[in-house]
Chain A
Amino acid sequence: GENVEQHPSTLSVQEGDSAVIKCTYSDSASNYFPWYKQELGKRPQLIIDIRSNVGEKKDQRIAVTLNKTAKHFSLHITETQPEDSAVYFCAASIGGSYIPTFGRGTSLIVHP
């Protein structure tokens, strides 16, 4: 089955800095890669996703890149704000399967 590794487990940045979270996956058949943000005690919320037919996608301060050859994808947050502090999860799912495999999460702390 699919295996998703996520790094780092904790990321501490100053407000205004950029943050990058990286994930690797094992199954080359995976073609959908969502990112979720989970604030303390809240539900995971989809913030951005990318499919295997594109290499990059951007939405305001958030961008995701995908390298299919290397089987890794990354989340980039620019101009971080304290409200970005949360746990971020990457996931990968195989074409035809509705079940994503999640990474273990990255706890992002943005210091004001």
Chain B
Amino acid sequence: NAGVMQNPRHLVRRRGQEARLRCSPVKGHSHVYWYRQLPEEGLKFMVYLQKENIIDESGMPKERFSAEFPKEGPSILRIQQVVRGDSAAYFCASSDNSGTHEQYFGPGTRLTVT
């Protein structure tokens, strides 16, 4: 579980800037998920990726948000032209392809838009 890494842990951006959030899954895991959590709310699914493929992005806003999981390197969630409403904790989780569905979460990135 400790294997999912996210950075940065805290990110402050001014309105209109870009935010880049990185996630390195557990070694050997090929599935990555991104969630957004607002204060005192649950986890909202955003996007599910496998290496080089977006499998499901139904929870991600169509504009300003994009995600990738390249063949080499971490998964990246990118938010362009951030607005105050983007302030939240963004969690990444990973799972293997054994079909067990168990997800392991990273420590999260807390994005603050000023």
Contacts and interface: CB of A to CB of B under 8 A. Distances in A.
A12 B3 CA distance: 33
Contact of A99 (B1, B56, B105): B56
Interface residues of B, number: 22
A24 to B, nearest CB: 15
Contacts of A103: 42
Contacts of A43: 91, 105-108
Contacts, number: 48
B104 A46 contact: yes
A49 B100 CA distance: 10
Q: Which of A32, A36, A89, A98 has the most CB of B within 10 A?
A: A98
Contacts of A101: 45
A45 B105 contact: yes
B9 to A, nearest CB: 10
- Chain A's interface size range is 10 to 19
A60 B100 CA distance: 22
Contact of A44 (B31, B43, B95): B43
Interface string A66-79: 00000000000000
A93 B48 CA distance: 14
A102 B43 contact: yes
Given A42-B107, A44-B91, A45-B1, A99 B45 contact: yes
A102 B100 CA distance: 17
Interface of B: 1, 31, 33, 41-45, 48, 55-56, 91, 95, 100-108
Given A100-B101, A100-B103, 11 more contacts: A32-B100, A36-B105, A44-B105, A46-B102, A46-B103, A89-B42, A98-B95, A101-B45, A102-B42, A105-B41, A105-B42
